Amino acid sequence: MVIGVCKIVLSLDDVFSLKEKRHIIKSIIERLRSRYNASIAEVELNDTWKNAVIGISCVSNEAGHADSMLATIVNFVENDGRAVMVDYSTELIHVD
């Protein structure tokens, strides 16, 4: 079993309240969940207006599949346009 984990740091420059930020982040998270069937949550900077960190995880029986899935999700977030991706990191965890 392979667990893929990804952390994405986002910047939301056009946001001027927590309500606006949460609306955008919630929308991105819901679109990712429905499209890619992955577990996703806002994991850091919850009370900061201009920044957000989302965590993503997926489980697969092949490392290549998990890595490909995370790369596709990162690409989707990068091209979404509502938030600027500042940084991201991925990790594959092999469980026997």
pLDDT of residue 21: 87
In terms of pTM, does the model score above 0.85? no
- Residue 94's Cβ-count burial label (10 Å; 0-12, 13-18, 19+) is exposed
Q: Which residues of the chain have pLDDT under 50?
A: none
Beta bridge partners of 59: 3
Q: What is the pLDDT of residues 63-76, one digit of tens each?
A: 999 999 999 999 99
Helix extents (H) in the chain: 18-36, 63-80
Q: What is the pLDDT of residues 28-37, one digit of tens each?
A: 999 998 898 8
Q: Which CATH number fits domain 2-94: 3.40.50.300, 3.40.50.80, 3.30.70.1120, 1.20.120.80?
A: 3.30.70.1120
